[in-house]
């Protein structure tokens, strides 16, 4: 009897030890799982930051971020929708385009309105194969679970991120803390690229010369320029524009700017970026070209455009006034990956501070 009691006691002790061990092991596994999730999250953040720094358009950056989310978190469908001030626009999605109309109208769905107003994540799923999610109008069976995450920048609602799965209860065990971190990083990316987005869309064409404004250099133009390690930037200024305007009138000044612009456009490669920088200042970026070759080329261009004559005919032909434009040129080197606006600012300062009679081709 005593031996049996001893054996039972030993078994109880072993059972208690195993229970304690299992709990300890479970905690360790959970810790490792949390650490793994954190490492994954950190890697995703690092990928986000790398994407921000790449020479891509804003839309391409957001699309790439969506691809990172799909790959790293093994999500079936992911869609990022942003309100651009006029309408809801799908910035990134791997869902077939035939479903985009429904996806960009989710803010109208009653099931998501509370989520938007409270800035809280909304999780919905079906329980049977015969059910469909409330926002699915024309489709059936594509998604059985969805997680809706409204996006806010400084308490201002800007859109939403929705992830979907073709399986029921797919996100029941998904760690929402990690999801919140990812959402915050999506918001940070949208904030960080907002300036770039403005630059990409703000450029316009000058009505007289047909040239893009300076903003084109910093957005779309920069993508062309940055195909090369170095480029030569030339800024030139019509230094006697005030005299032309005074003696011949402002229309004559506009006319001469148009004429010289057309001459230059006809003589440079489409790969080179030519813009009206500001007023009588123009910029040409010779993508991938060395300064020596550019300087020689600009000597010939300078000779040609300074031969243009503009006149004001009076009734008395003896009083007819004729004038020629006079230009001052300055060149500098742009290095890929640096700020091209820094180069143009330096060139502009040089021209503005140059002696009034200077009409050279300088290099700084």
Residue 315 banded pLDDT, cuts 50, 70, 90: very low
pLDDT at 162: 95
Residue 35 banded pLDDT, cuts 50, 70, 90: very low
List the single range of 75-84, 136-145, 152-161, 343-352 with lowest mean pLDDT: 136-145
Q: Which residues contact 82 (CB under 8 A, 6 or more apart)?
A: 88, 89, 91, 151, 158, 159, 190
Would you state the structure tokens that stand for residue 125, as one six-digit string?
Answer: 């799923």
Which tops the pLDDT comparison, 138 or 4?
A: 138
> pLDDT exceeding 70 applies to what percent of the chain?
77
Q: What is the mean pLDDT of residues 296-310?
A: 88
**Do 238 and 302 form a contact (C-beta atoms < 8 A)?**
no
Instruction: Report whether pLDDT(155) > 70.
Output: yes
HSE at residue 116, side-chain half, CA atoms within 13 A, is 17
pLDDT at 3: 60
Buried b (16+ CB within 10 A) or exposed e, 112-131: beebbeeeebbbbbbeeeee
Residue 151 banded pLDDT, cuts 50, 70, 90: very high
pLDDT at 28: 42
**Cα radius of gyration rounded to whole Å, the chain:** 32
Residue 285 banded pLDDT, cuts 50, 70, 90: very high
Q: What is the pLDDT of residues 42-65, one digit of tens each?
A: 566 667 667 666 667 777 788 888
HSE at residue 274, side-chain half, CA atoms within 13 A, is 16
d(C-alpha 42, C-alpha 225), whole Å: 33
Q: Are strands 273-278 and 212-213 parallel, antiparallel or unpaired?
A: parallel
**Do 51 and 189 form a contact (C-beta atoms < 8 A)?**
yes
Strands (E), 136-210: 145-153, 156-165
pLDDT at 193: 65
Instruction: Report whether pLDDT(229) > 90.
Output: no
**Do 254 and 235 form a contact (C-beta atoms < 8 A)?**
no
Q: What is the mean pLDDT of residues 146-166?
A: 90
Residue 202 banded pLDDT, cuts 50, 70, 90: low
Instruction: Report whether pLDDT(31) > 60.
Output: no
List the single range of 75-84, 148-157, 191-200 with lowest mean pLDDT: 191-200
Q: Which residues contact 155 (CB under 8 A, 6 or more apart)?
A: none
Can you say whether the dihedral through the CA atoms of 329, 304, 228, 50 is positive or negative?
positive
Hey, which residues does 205 pair with through a beta bridge?
212
d(C-alpha 186, C-alpha 47), whole Å: 12
Q: What is the pLDDT of residues 7-16, one digit of tens each?
A: 665 556 666 5
How much is the pTM?
0.53
List the single range of 86-100, 118-132, 305-319 with lowest mean pLDDT: 305-319
Phi, psi of 21 (to 5 degrees): -60, -45
Would you state the structure tokens that stand for residue 237, as one six-digit string?
Answer: 């200024």
pLDDT at 39: 46
Which tops the pLDDT comparison, 117 or 139?
A: 117
d(C-alpha 63, C-alpha 187), whole Å: 14
Look at residue 149 and give its three-state secondary structure: strand
Instruction: Report whether pLDDT(6) > 80.
Output: no
Identify the CA nearest to 201 among candidates 219, 226, 222, 224.
219
């Amino acid at each position: 009897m005593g031996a049996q009691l001893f054996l039972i006691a030993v078994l109880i002790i072993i059972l208690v030890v195993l229970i304690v061990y299992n709990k300890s092991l479970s905690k360790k596994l959970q810790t490792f799982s949390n650490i793994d999730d954190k490492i994954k999250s950190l890697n995703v953040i690092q990928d986000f930051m790398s994407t921000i720094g790449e020479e891509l358009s804003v839309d391409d950056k957001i699309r790439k971020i969506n691809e990172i989310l799909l790959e790293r978190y093994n999500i079936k469908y992911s869609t990022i929708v942003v309100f651009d001030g006029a309408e809801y626009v799908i910035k990134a999605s791997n869902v077939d385009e035939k479903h985009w109309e429904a996806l960009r109208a989710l803010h109208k769905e009653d099931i998501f309105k509370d989520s938007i107003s409270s800035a809280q994540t909304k999780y919905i799923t079906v329980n049977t194969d015969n059910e469909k999610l409330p926002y699915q109008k024309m489709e059936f069976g594509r998604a059985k679970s969805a997680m809706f995450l409204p996006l806010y920048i400084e308490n201002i609602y800007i859109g939403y991120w929705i992830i979907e799965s073709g399986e029921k209860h797919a996100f029941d065990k998904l760690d929402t803390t990690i999801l919140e971190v990812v959402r915050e990083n999506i918001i940070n990316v949208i904030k960080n690229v907002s300036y770039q987005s403005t630059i990409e869309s703000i450029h316009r064409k000058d009505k007289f010369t047909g040239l893009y404004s300076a903003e084109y250099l910093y957005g779309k133009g920069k993508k062309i320029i940055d195909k090369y390690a170095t480029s030569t930037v030339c800024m030139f200024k019509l230094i006697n524009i005030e005299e032309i305007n005074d003696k011949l009138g402002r229309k004559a000044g506009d006319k001469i700017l148009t004429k010289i612009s057309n001459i230059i456009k006809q003589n440079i490669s489409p790969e080179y970026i030519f813009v009206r920088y500001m007023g009588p200042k123009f910029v040409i970026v010779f993508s991938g070209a060395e300064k020596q070759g550019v300087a020689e080329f600009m000597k010939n261009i300078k000779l040609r455009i300074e031969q243009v004559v503009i006149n004001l005919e009076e009734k008395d032909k003896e009083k007819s006034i004729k004038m020629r434009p006079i230009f001052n040129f300055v060149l500098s080197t742009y290095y890929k990956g640096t700020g091209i606006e820094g180069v143009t600012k330096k060139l502009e300062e040089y021209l503005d501070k140059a002696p009034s009679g200077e009409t050279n081709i300088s290099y700084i």
